[in-house]
A and B are shown apart, each in its own frame.
Chain A
Amino acid sequence: MMQTEARAAAVAPAPAPAPAAINMKVSLGAATAPTPASAASLPHVTGPFRTPERRIITKEDMDQFISSPIRAALVDFIFSCSDACRGLKISHPVVTSPVVTAVTTVLDELEKIADATPPEENPKTRFGNPSFRLFYDRVQKALPTLLEPVVRPREAVVEVAKYLEKSFGDRKRIDYGTGHEANFMAFLLTLYRLNLLTDTDKPAIVLRLFVRYLSLMRKVQFLYWLEPAGSHGVWGLDDYHSLPFLFGASQLVDHKYLRPKAIHDMDIVDMFAKEYLYLGCIQFINRVKTTASLRWHSPMLDDISGVKTWSKIESGMRKLYVVEVLGKLPIMQHFMFGAILPFENVSGRAVKDEDLEADDGHLHVYAMGQEFPVCCGMRLPSAIAARQREGQARVLPFD
């Protein structure tokens, strides 16, 4: 339907009125859904537990997702975590339950895997280091065992592990973006929905678990040269992350003397980077993007620094996250659902990981009844094998 509208707009001799184009943008999945369901309408978690699958396949699925209880639950969870760290430094003493400690231990073990999986020397790849795939596979293999002491009921591990696995980036493309970051929150949400994490854990969820994940992620990004997945370049907040700015702004609300424009003062940034996520991000970005000033490489952050209060920034970050991450099809089409994070889509279709990530990416080729048609000693590719794929659910294109 989208395509016909676009074609009609292209062929029309007279310019269509501007609102039509703006509606086109909005209909891409921005947050203008009717009557969103509330998180409270989500049923309690019951099995059977199974490996999560992608269910946001079509545009209608995306619209359905936007007004779904599971999206409301994810938004509630993230926003309430942000509330929980309001005005708190990273080192602020917080309740750390056994589950929080156990998850920290899991992240520590995953860091050891990274340390034991150095990047390949002289990789001959075009950008990302192929050792990332080795790291990914080792993480995937280790997670069920690492999560076994944490997750109850035990059968739920197969679902919980998938979200944590997906938090580190795309195995095939060797890239990372806000969709992967969202998977980490989804992982925490599964523990919350299983009552393993509770409301009293929320300050620790941000100040211990998310902080720990962020530092591990920065190491992995650097170690393997992860490409910024679907970066909006200068038209986005950051190449990789969104939540450190949301949680980070919340931390700084009502701070006695640190104002938003403080991000331009390098001494202040360096002094407080360890205690405040937002300033930690600024410090990190400045260390990586050395060829130009903030105004050049991160104009959005530069512009935001002109806002008067952190409270306004935090509420702006909430709106931004809902629209730009949870509301964008190129990101959410990769999101997975199961028994713990349930979603009944409109299209009725689902895509498993195995459909997208065959061992060697190989599709068996057939042409004209011959298994391996040959011309001058070379095997010919076939459109037929490709067409066999077409009956199955395909995710929509993104970049």
Chain B
Amino acid sequence: MGTSDLDRQIAQLRKCELIKESEVRELCNKAREILIEEANVQRVDAPVTICGDIHGQFYDLMELFSVGHDCPDTNYLFMGDFVDRGFYSVETFLLLLALKVRYPDRITLIRGNHESRQITQVYGFYDECLRKYGSVNVWRYCCEIFDYLALAALVDDRILCVHGGLSPSITTLDQIRTIDRKQEVPHDGAMCDLLWSDPEEIDGWGVSPRGAGYLFGGDVVAAFLHANNLELIARAHQLVMEGYKHMFKDTVVTVWSAPNYCYRCGNVAAILELDDKLNRNFVIFHPASQDARGIPAKKATPDYFL
């Protein structure tokens, strides 16, 4: 697959048009070659723009690129949860993947808890692949790619980016590096915790109401930052009304990039721009206007009602 093929596919995906199943397979093969070389904690250089959950909200991703400027003019780091719940998980993930293959040093994708076979079979991505392609192959190719995604990213050795949060099994970055990440997200353990945990106003660790990962308090964060010589943990995973939210004296920030989540929540979205000196600038954005969106194809009646 040459660069011009890839550019054509990117142009198509940018218009929210699907590429063929055979093209998806090739794209995933190419992506695997790149991702397999990435570390569990992938090093990223500033300047970079950090983004949170997208959840298949393709037109809002277009809005994100509009306020943050296009890749590769801007470097991007997406913190997972590209799929499920929204209309366009397929187009969203394939576009980000195609951009990764085209500009591997300009965009970094790390894994969220929704990049999982079990979760995507419940929350929409599996159904969407089946509807749009008539088979589960695209879903399977994507799930294989999910297994190769890095678990975290480190910006200039100072800012750790992870989808969920910390793990009681992990006190140093080196411990993250020893994980065998090329597997389905486990039900528990360090790899699961990184993708499922949440910060909470408590001391120490708490049991998570999600049923996976843990709750972690400000003292845990302070100790972790100190031990690893970091200044900030950027993460996503939780809906934020105002798009982003600081905790623990600005040592943790949650970034959420899916505006008006589920068409109901009325939240704005945010991205975190880091300049080459790691100065932080939050950019808020709203949902794309209705006329910017195409009309969703009328789907067949759900099976239950036939």
Where the two chains meet, the residues of A that have a C-beta atom closer than 8 Å to any C-beta of B are: 2-3, 6-7, 9-10, 15-16, 18, 21-22, 24-25, 28, 126-127, 170, 172-173, 225, 227-228, 230-236, 239, 288-289, 291-292, 295-297, 299-300, 303-304, 306-307, 312-313, 316-317, 319-320, 323, 328, 330, 333, 355-358, 360-365, 375-376, 378-383, 385-387, 389-390, 394-399
Verify if B296 is at the interface (C-beta below 8 Å from A). yes
Whether B86 contacts A234 by the Cβ 8 Å rule is: yes
Where the two chains meet, the residues of B that have a C-beta atom closer than 8 Å to any C-beta of A are: 55-56, 84-87, 113-114, 117-119, 121-124, 126-128, 135-137, 139-140, 143-144, 147, 166, 168-169, 171, 182-184, 186-188, 192, 196, 200, 202-207, 209-216, 219-220, 222-224, 226-227, 238-242, 245, 254, 260, 262-265, 267, 287, 290, 293, 295-296, 298-302, 304-306
Whether A291 contacts B211 by the Cβ 8 Å rule is: no
Give every chain A residue within 8 A of B55 (Cβ-Cβ): 233
List 19 A–B pairs whose Cβ atoms lie within 8 Å, in order of A's numbering.
A3-B186, A6-B183, A10-B183, A28-B118, A126-B240, A127-B267, A227-B265, A233-B123, A235-B124, A291-B290, A295-B295, A299-B87, A356-B207, A358-B207, A365-B204, A378-B223, A381-B223, A383-B169, A399-B119
Q: Which of A2, A288, A358, A394 contacts B264 (CB 8 A)?
A: A288
- Shortest CB–CB separation between residue B28 and chain A, in angstroms? 11
Given A307-B301, A398-B211, A361–B264 Cβ distance below 8 Å? no
Whether A375 contacts B304 by the Cβ 8 Å rule is: no
Give the number of A-B contacts (CB < 8 Å): 223
Q: Which of A288, A316, A355, A365 contacts B302 (CB 8 A)?
A: A316
> Which 6 A-B pairs rank lowest in CB-CB distance, beginning with the nearest?
A233-B85, A397-B212, A361-B206, A235-B124, A386-B168, A316-B305
**Residue of chain B at shortest CB distance from A317:** B304
* Residue of B139, B184, B207 contacting most chain A CB atoms (<10 Å): B207
How long is the Cα–Cα vector from A2 to B84 in the complex, in angstroms? 21
Whether B184 contacts A381 by the Cβ 8 Å rule is: no
Q: Which of A2, A236, A379 contacts B118 (CB 8 A)?
A: A2
- Shortest CB–CB separation between residue B284 and chain A, in angstroms? 15
Give every chain A residue within 8 A of B122 (Cβ-Cβ): 28, 232, 328, 330
Whether B135 contacts A320 by the Cβ 8 Å rule is: no
**Residue of chain A at shortest CB distance from B241:** A127
Give every chain B residue within 8 A of A320 (Cβ-Cβ): 302, 304
Whether B204 contacts A362 by the Cβ 8 Å rule is: yes
- Shortest CB–CB separation between residue B4 and chain A, in angstroms? 27
**Residue of chain A at shortest CB distance from B117:** A6
Give every chain B residue within 8 A of A333 (Cβ-Cβ): 211
* Residue of B128, B205, B245 contacting most chain A CB atoms (<10 Å): B205
Q: Which of B114, B137, B220, B296 contacts A399 (CB 8 A)?
A: B114
Give every chain A residue within 8 A of B202 (Cβ-Cβ): 360-362
DSSP majority for the B interface?
loop
Whether B245 contacts A126 by the Cβ 8 Å rule is: yes
Give every chain B residue within 8 A of A297 (Cβ-Cβ): 263-264
Whether A299 contacts B85 by the Cβ 8 Å rule is: no
Q: Which of A21, A291, A296, A356 contacts B209 (CB 8 A)?
A: A356
Whether A397 contacts B196 by the Cβ 8 Å rule is: yes
How long is the Cα–Cα vector from A363 to B168 in the complex, in angstroms? 11
Q: Which of B171, B182, B216, B304 contacts A319 (CB 8 A)?
A: B304
Give every chain B residue within 8 A of A22 (Cβ-Cβ): 136
- Shortest CB–CB separation between residue A286 and chain B, in angstroms? 11
- Shortest CB–CB separation between residue B43 and chain A, in angstroms? 25
Whether A376 contacts B226 by the Cβ 8 Å rule is: yes
Whether A363 contacts B205 by the Cβ 8 Å rule is: yes
How long is the Cα–Cα vector from A294 to B263 in the complex, in angstroms? 11
Give every chain B residue within 8 A of A307 (Cβ-Cβ): 301, 305
Give every chain A residue within 8 A of B300 (Cβ-Cβ): 303
- Shortest CB–CB separation between residue A230 and chain B, in angstroms? 8
- Shortest CB–CB separation between residue A181 and chain B, in angstroms? 17
How long is the Cα–Cα vector from A13 to B126 in the complex, in angstroms? 21
Given A296-B263, A375-B227, A396–B215 Cβ distance below 8 Å? no
Give every chain B residue within 8 A of A386 (Cβ-Cβ): 168-169, 205, 214
Give every chain A residue within 8 A of B140 (Cβ-Cβ): 9, 15-16, 21
**Residue of chain A at shortest CB distance from B200:** A361
**Residue of chain B at shortest CB distance from A235:** B124
Given A375-B223, A397-B113, A18–B135 Cβ distance below 8 Å? yes
Give every chain B residue within 8 A of A227 (Cβ-Cβ): 239, 265
